[in-house]
Amino acid sequence: MNIDAIKQRIIEGNYEFSIHAQQERLEHDLDITEIEAAIMLGEVIEDYPDDPRGESCLLLGYVGSIPVHLVVGWTRCQSNGEKTLRIITVYIPQSPKWEDPRRRGGKTS
């Protein structure tokens, strides 16, 4: 996914949160402006072009000094059929799954 297209959708307000992302955002006490800022200063760290649910990617952004991962993908707006950005999930990367915000952790026994 193209980071510039993602950022443009944020600027336009042409995005939505999945129910899961909304729950995760609230659990981590992140407000919408923090999520928007994390995306605007973020980068794509994994791309999932062949995801069976539709093209998506993993973004790394920051809320202050806290790293935040966001999985985003494209969906179609039901009212007009235009492509809309969907924020699928939001979480703070932590060990053991993540060695650091950019590298996945090793397998645990």
SS3 for 64?
Answer: coil
Mean pLDDT for the chain overall: 90
pTM comes to 0.88
Q: What is the pLDDT of residues 85-99, one digit of tens each?
A: 999 999 999 888 888
- Residue 78, pLDDT above cutoff 80: no
Q: How confident is the model at residue 20 (pLDDT cuts 50, 70, 90)?
A: very high
Structure tokens at 69: 């991962």
Region 69-89: mean pLDDT is: 86
Could you tell me the CA-to-CA distances from 78 to 10, 45, 71, 74 in Å, in that order? 19, 29, 21, 13
